[in-house]
Chains A and B, each alone.
Chain A
């Protein structure tokens, strides 16, 4: 890996982790979860996460809407009115000057994404690596969001791998 690739990789990881933390902070979650990593991956400039999800009819907006719906439905199940206003991520909230902390599942997904990057021989981490790794989570918010969107986890993972293979071939 050239110095230039390495620097680009560091920038990508930084953007991903900062973005995930910002998403979590804005949503009122203590720590970034897998769903926040995926939202941050959608915003990465490589565009691979967005490309794969578009193939399943999922956009940034529909993913956010499904996430809000999953939480609202969960609240309704215990008798709380589900019409919770979703916070605005772009409202200039800042991430504190501290090291990256995440939920154990998000940490695991991030490690899986970097392992996938290495095994695929990619020069740098791409959004599709993150989405593919996120699909390994069997229980929790992200699988529920995919279910709400009618997206099959295994099919999404396969589409990510296909996209990454195409990307590697150039």
Chain B
């Protein structure tokens, strides 16, 4: 049987709330890294959005600023692909 993960007991309120912030930050870092990896591997924003339970537009708005600037060559290529 899988080990049950229990929510740690709150002995110190300040420390517990600081841990919440740090965990949220860690989750965001993992999310950003995974999305950048997914887009680099050819996933569409619709794929990413569906996986995260948000719309493709919301995924693009949130994560597109994390991507490296597309090179002029890749911009031309993606325009051609759309045509």
Contact = CB atoms under 8 A, between A and B. Distances in A.
Given A74-B15, A92-B68, A30 B28 contact: yes
A74 B28 contact: no
B15 A77 contact: yes
B48 to A, nearest CB: 16
Contacts of B29: 27-28, 84, 87
A131 B27 CA distance: 28
B8 interface: yes
Interface in B34-74: 61, 64-66, 68-69
Nearest to B62: A96
A95 B18 contact: no
Interface of B: 8, 12, 14-16, 18-19, 21-26, 28-29, 31-32, 61, 64-66, 68-69
Interface of A: 25, 27-30, 70-72, 74-75, 77-80, 84, 87, 92-96, 98, 139, 141, 144
